Chains A and B, each alone.
Chain A
Amino acid sequence: MEKFSRKDFLRISSSALALSQLWSLSGCTRQAAIGNHLKNFDSQDTALLENIWRAYVGGEAAVARYGEKGLKKIFQECTSSLDGMLESFKMDAPYLTDDFLLALKLIDYGPIILGWYGKTFGSLSLSQQQQVLQDWLDSSLKPLRDVSYGLKGLFTLLYYEHPQVRQLIGFDKPWVLRDRVQGARQGI
C-alpha cells in the first residue's frame, strides 16, 4: 500500500483544481494551427519542450557534444516530430493528444502547484528542473509517477531517434528511404 498523507491529498486536490482552470483557459483545448508549421505548440510551448529535453538528456554535456546552436536545432526537429506524433494520435486515440498537452501544463506549473518552488518549470535552473523530474518519477503518487514516466520515455525516444544524435553515438545502421512513406497514406 502506498503512503498517501494529508499533505499529498492537499497537493493533488489543489493541483487538480488549478489544472481544471488551466484546461479551460489555455492550450489543452486548442487544436488549430498556431501561426507556424507546428499544429499543437506555440512559441511558449516550444521553449518549455526545449527545457524538458535539456533536463532529460544532458544539458551541458549535450551542449559540449553538439554545440548550443546544434543542440537547439536538434530540439526543434524533435519538437516537429512530436507535433507530427500528436497529429497521428488524433486518428486512433485523440485523448492521447489532449493528455499530452495537459501533462505539459502540469510540468510547466507543477513546481508552483505542488508547492516545491515558487516558479514555473522554465524559470528553474537546469539542476532544479532535473530534480523536479526525478522527484516526480519517484513520487508516492501513482498518477504523477505514471505521467512523468510516460513523458520521459517519449522525450528520450524522440531525442535518440534523431539522425545526428545516432551518428554521434556511432550507430551506423543504414538510414535511407525516409520519403517512401509519403505514398503509403494515399493507398496502393
Chain B
Amino acid sequence: MNPIDFNLSQVAAMDYSKHVVQFKDVNGPIEDEADVVVIGTGAGGAACADALVASGLKVIAVEAGGYYPLKYLNQNLLDMMSLLSWQMGNAGSKDGSLRMVHGKCVGGSTLLHMLTMTAIPDDVLGRWQKKYGLTKLNRQRLTPIESQLRKKMNIKEIPAERINDNAKRWIAGCEKLGVYWKANERNAGNCIEAGKCHTGCPFGGKLSMDTAIIPNALNHGLKLYTDCKVDRIITSDGKATGVAGTFRNRTDGKVVGTLTLKAKKIVVAAGTIQTPALLLRSDLQNKFGTIGASLHAQPAINILGEFNDEIHGWRGITNPLHIDEWAPLEKGGFFCEPGLLEPSIYGESIPFMGAEHESIMSRYKYMAGGQVLLNDDGTGGTIGIDGDGNPEVQYELSENDKQRMRVALKKMGEILFAAGAKAVYLSHRIPLHLNSVKDLAKLDDIPLGPNDAHLETVHAQGSCKMSLNPKDGVVDEKGELHNVKDLYLADCSIFPDGVGTNTTIPGATMGIYVAEEVISSFPESH
C-alpha cells in the first residue's frame, strides 16, 4: 500500500474515542501521569511525541485546540481560521503591524502551511555550529531524522509538468535575469489542486502532522488530551514535575474541567509564540531574561505583477517553487515563494481605495503573485505576556531588516517586469504605481515602520534560543532549559537564529532531535 493510502485509511479507520480525550468527555478534574508529557502537537510536538512513543515510553500529549479529521474541514477561510488557528488567524503583534498566523489544533500550523518542505540549509547549520558552537546540530545527526520525516510525510519534488502558470511567469523572469530558482518538495497526499493548503486541506491533499504522524503515534500508545490549554508548568526544587491545564468547550469557550499531569520529563512544543508565553506564565523566566527576548518572525510582504494576458494564477499547485538566489544571509537573506492565493488574501493587503481598489482586484486573473520573505535579524521582536498570561508580541523591523526588505522587493519586482509584467503592486499602505523597472527606484526609501507594510508570518522562530551559555539563550544543546531540569523545548522557538526557509521540516527535525535527547536521559535505555 502506498504511504498516502496507508495514512488516509489509518486516519479514516481510527477509533478516536480510544485514544483521545476531548472537551466533551470531560466533566470536572482529571489527573493522569506518564513518563513524558508533550505540550503541543504541531511540527515539533507531533514528531517528538511519535519518536518518544516508538521508544516504549509512556507519553501523553496535550493540545489547546481540537482534533479535526478531514471530514470536518471545509474551504471557507473564516470557518477554517476560526477552527484551526489562534484568534481566528488574527494573532500578531500588539499594534497589529505583524499578523502571526499559528495553528490551534492537532497538527498545529502544519494544517496551515503551503506544503513547502525544506530541510535546514547547510549554510545555516554551518553558522549555528560556528557562530554559536552548537556542534551537535550536524548533518550526521540530522540527516537520518530528515530522511525519516521524508518517508513518513511522503515528501517528493513537484514534477515539472505540475508547475502552474503563476510560477511559470516567475520562472520566465528568473531565466531572463539568471536568477536561481528551485522546484519545491512537498508532503502531498491526494492533492486535487484545490488551492486551500493554507486553511487545512479538506481533501486529504496534505500529509500534515494530524494525518501523517499523530495517527501512527496514537496506534502505538500515545494518549492525547485535546481542547486543553496548559496554564502552567509545575516545578519543584528546580525540576519540572507536571503540568496544569484547563479544558474548554469548543462552542462557547466555557470551562468544562481541569487537567493535572505528573511526569518525569516535560517537553514544551507549543510553537514560537505560545511556548515562551507558557514559560513566562509559569514564572520560569531566567535571571538573564532570555525567554521571549528575541524573535525571528521571517516577515513576508505580498507582491503582485499584472500582465496583459489572462493567467488564472490560482489554478494548479499553489506554491510549486522557491526563488532562493538571495536566501543565504551573506547574499541578502531573503527569498520568494511564488503563489497566488484566493482574492481575499491579496484584496485585504493591496493599497488603493474605492474604485481603484475594485478595478485592480477585478483584473485578478491577469495577476501573478508571490510572497517576499525576509530572514530578519531578530533584534526587532520580543514576546512577553499580558495580564491574562496570553502572548504579547512587540515587533518592528530593524533598520538593517528594512534595508534588506527594500532590496528584496526591488529584486522580485525586477523578476516580474523581466517576465513581462506591466505593473507591480505591493501590500503596502502607500498606493504606489510601479509601471516599469525604473519605477522600482521608488522603493529605495519606502517606509517600513509599523503598519506601513502589510507584514505577516507563518514562520515565526527563535524566541527561546538554544545556546551553550545560559546568558545567550534559554535551552542547552539537548533542548533542556538552562534553569529548569527535566523541562525541554522542541519546536522552532529554539532555533539560535533565523533558519531562512520554511519551518515545518526544521521544526519537526528539532522535535525528533530533542526526543532522542529525552530518551537517552532515562536511566533505563528505551
The chain A residues found within 8 Å of chain B, CB to CB, are 55-62, 65, 81, 84-85, 88-93, 96, 126, 130, 133-134, 137-138, 142, 145-146, 149-150, 152-154, 156-161, 165-166, 168-181, 183-188
What residues of B have a CB within 8 angstroms of the CB of A175 in the complex? 75
Q: Which 10 A-B pairs have the closest CB atoms?
A: A58-B358, A160-B347, A91-B253, A184-B72, A157-B348, A160-B344, A187-B24, A61-B355, A161-B344, A177-B74
Choose among A56, A159, A184 the residue with the greatest number of B CB atoms under 10 Å from its CB: A184
Q: Which residues of B contact A177 (CB under 8 A)?
A: 73-75, 202
Q: Are A161 and B78 in contact (CB under 8 A)?
A: yes
Q: Are A169 and B72 in contact (CB under 8 A)?
A: no
A170 to chain B, nearest CB (A): 5
- Known contacts A149-B96, A174-B75, A186-B24, A169 near B354 by CB under 8 Å: no
Given the interface pairs A169-B361, A177-B74, A186-B24, the reply to whether A130 lies near B344 with Cβ below 8 Å is no
Would you mind naming 9 contact pairs between A and B with Cβ atoms under 8 Å apart?
A56-B357, A92-B88, A152-B348, A156-B357, A158-B78, A170-B312, A173-B195, A173-B342, A175-B75
Q: Are A134 and B353 in contact (CB under 8 A)?
A: yes
Q: Are A169 and B362 in contact (CB under 8 A)?
A: yes
Interfacial chain B residues near A169, Cβ < 8 Å: 343, 361-362, 364-365
The one of A85, A96, A168 that contacts B78, using a Cβ cutoff of 8 Å = A85
**Once bound together, how far apart are the Cα atoms of A169 and B314, in whole Å?**
12
Given A91-B248, A93-B87, A173-B194, list of 18 further CB < 8 A pairs? A58-B358, A85-B82, A89-B88, A138-B430, A153-B349, A157-B344, A158-B344, A160-B342, A161-B77, A168-B362, A169-B343, A173-B195, A176-B75, A184-B68, A185-B251, A186-B24, A186-B250, A188-B16
Is B79 at the interface (CB under 8 A from chain A)?
yes
Which of A89, A149, A176: most chain B Cβ within 10 A? A149
Q: How far is the CA of A85 from the CA of B88 in the complex (A)?
A: 8
Among A60, A146, A156, A181, which residue has its beta carbon within 8 angstroms of that of B348?
A: A156
Partner of A142, one of B86, B344, B357, B451: B451
**B88 contacts across to A, CB distance below 8 A:** 85, 88-89, 92
Chain B residues packing against A (C-beta within 8 Å): 16, 20, 22-25, 66-69, 71-80, 82-83, 86-88, 90-91, 95-97, 104, 192, 194-196, 202, 227, 248, 250-253, 312, 314-315, 342-349, 353-355, 357-359, 361-362, 364-365, 390, 429-430, 450-451, 454
Docked-complex contact B96 and A157, CB < 8 angstroms:
no
Which residues of chain A come closer than 8 Å to B77, judged between CB atoms? 157, 161
User: Quick one: which of B96, B192, B251, B365 contacts A150, CB cutoff 8 A?
Assistant: B96
Check A60 against B355 for contact (C-beta < 8 Å): yes
B354's contact among A56, A145, A154, A159, by CB below 8 Å, is which? A56
Nearest CB of chain A from residue B340's CB, rounded to whole Å: 10
Contacts of A62 in B (CB 8 A): 358
Q: Which residues of A contact B314 (CB under 8 A)?
A: 171, 173
Please, how many angstroms separate the alpha-carbon atoms of A55 and B16 in the complex? 49
CB proximity of B217 to chain A, nearest CB, Å: 16
Closest chain B CB from A142 CB (angstroms): 7
Contact B362 A184 (CB under 8 A): no
Min CB–CB distance B225 → chain A (angstroms): 13
Q: How far is the CA of A81 from the CA of B74 in the complex (A)?
A: 16
Q: A61 is contacted by which of B78, B344, B358 (Cβ under 8 Å)? A: B358
B202 to chain A: closest CB distance in Å? 6
Closest to A162 in B: B344
| Distance between A114 CB and nearest chain B CB, rounded to angstroms | 18
The answer for the CA separation of A145 and B343 in the assembled complex, in Å, is 24
Assembled-state Cα–Cα distance A60/B359 (Å): 11
Query: Of B22, B194, B253, B343, which is within 8 A of A188 by CB?
Result: B22
Cα A131 to Cα B314 in complex, Å, equals 33
Identify the closest chain A residue to B365 (Cβ): A170
Chain A residues with Cβ below 8 Å from B196 are: 173
Q: A187 with B451: in contact, given A59-B354, A61-B359, A169-B361 (CB under 8 Å)?
A: no
B361 neighbours in A (Cβ, 8 Å): 160, 169
* Known pairs A157-B348, A178-B76; A184 contacts B66 (CB<8 A): yes
With a cutoff of 8 Å between Cβ atoms, the chain B residues found around residue A184 in the complex are: 66, 68, 72-73, 83, 250
Residues of A within 8 A of B450 (CB): 142, 146
Docked-complex contact B253 and A90, CB < 8 angstroms: yes
- Do A59 and B355 touch (CB < 8 A)? yes
